[in-house]
A = this chain, B = another copy of it.
């Protein structure tokens, strides 16, 4: 016989019980007892605590398997709210969501991240208060804050670590800016946050690459539904992988090396090449807009960028063998030309076994995944063992 190695036992902590109900794995005390192996008494007293804290709701009758039909349990996603902050290189967006990451109100505007942490975070806090008011909620309803930033973050402290395009932000204690809300504040880089957003509120147990094509190029790496970070937390940093230029050019990258992926195929390189080709554009958004409207030269630039990104993804498909690749970020608004360039290279060079059932897709809502991901990250933080312990105390 052959069989799979050790499975961890199923926890019956109050937080674990809540997660089982929330994920739809159980909807009654009996199902929770069967799933976790804990006694009916233990389950009942913990469920009562969760109901007392308003995190679970009781109502309706389930199907009986003999005897009295069970009372159904439901996760109360209105037991509080979280703030989701999406900091971009040129924008700040804040949403308030319920505990299922449903957006209740959102606000944002352009801002230059180089204005520094004091100005930008001050604005994020102001927008947070604004969306709470717009949704008819108060500061006391906030359970956690999630923040995505466009650079590397030391996840355990929430401090940016030498972020190349966030001057003045190195080692800044971002969580302290949100002291108005005395709750957990979780900070991560925008690509990891977007990856969470693409997994959605139901989560996933799949292996997924979420590729962001914006000013730069980055990748969120999801292993069995969880963000993979690597030794220094820099996993997914694919923008500086070396690629041969299709026309044999040598292009200097802002990192000092030559022919990095993002020197050849990114929002910044698209703008550079479009200007060099004499297209009437002044921003990456203009190039993407032209391509989306079917302008021939812009289309070809976007498609070629897709092909170049695809050569790197083909190698990563062989190595990582993901179930899905999701393409997001500002350049993803160009749509099919980008996607077909990527697919062309991936299917030309990836191994047939690894590519067989691989899905390569555009994000359904590239502009929202940052906020939804930040909300999900915040929800996780307030529904983990520590968070639930606080809620029950």
Write the nearest CB–CB distance from A138 to chain B, whole angstroms.
21
Q: Mark A226-244, 1 if CB is under 8 A from B, else 0.
A: 0011111111111011101
Q: With A155-B4, A206-B231 as given contacts, are A237 and B15 in contact (CB-CB < 8 Å)?
A: no
A221, B319: Cβ atoms closer than 8 Å: yes
**Inside 8 A of A16's CB, which chain B residues have their CB?**
8-9
**Inside 8 A of A223's CB, which chain B residues have their CB?**
223, 228
A321, B235: Cβ atoms closer than 8 Å: yes
A315, B314: Cβ atoms closer than 8 Å: no
Docked CA distance A187–B5 (Å): 11
A201 within 8 A of B: no
State how many residues of chain A have any CB contact under 8 Å with chain B.
74
Docked CA distance A15–B228 (Å): 28
A347 within 8 A of B: no
- For the residues of A in contact with B, the DSSP-based class is loop
A42 within 8 A of B: no
Docked CA distance A206–B229 (Å): 11
Write the nearest CB–CB distance from A253 to chain B, whole angstroms.
11
Q: Nearest CB to that of A228 among chain B residues?
A: B223
A185, B319: Cβ atoms closer than 8 Å: no
A311 within 8 A of B: yes
| A interface, CB within 8 angstroms of B | 1-9, 11-13, 15-16, 19, 152, 155-158, 161-162, 175, 184-187, 206-207, 219, 221, 223, 228-238, 240-242, 244, 255, 257, 311-312, 314-316, 318-323, 349, 351, 353-354, 356-358, 377, 380-381, 383-386
Instruction: Name 14 A/B residue pairs within 8 A (Cβ), A-sorted.
Output: A2-B157, A2-B175, A3-B386, A5-B381, A8-B16, A231-B321, A231-B322, A231-B323, A237-B321, A237-B353, A242-B315, A242-B349, A315-B315, A316-B319
List 5 A-B pairs, minimum CB-CB distance, nearest first: A230-B321, A9-B11, A2-B158, A6-B384, A235-B321
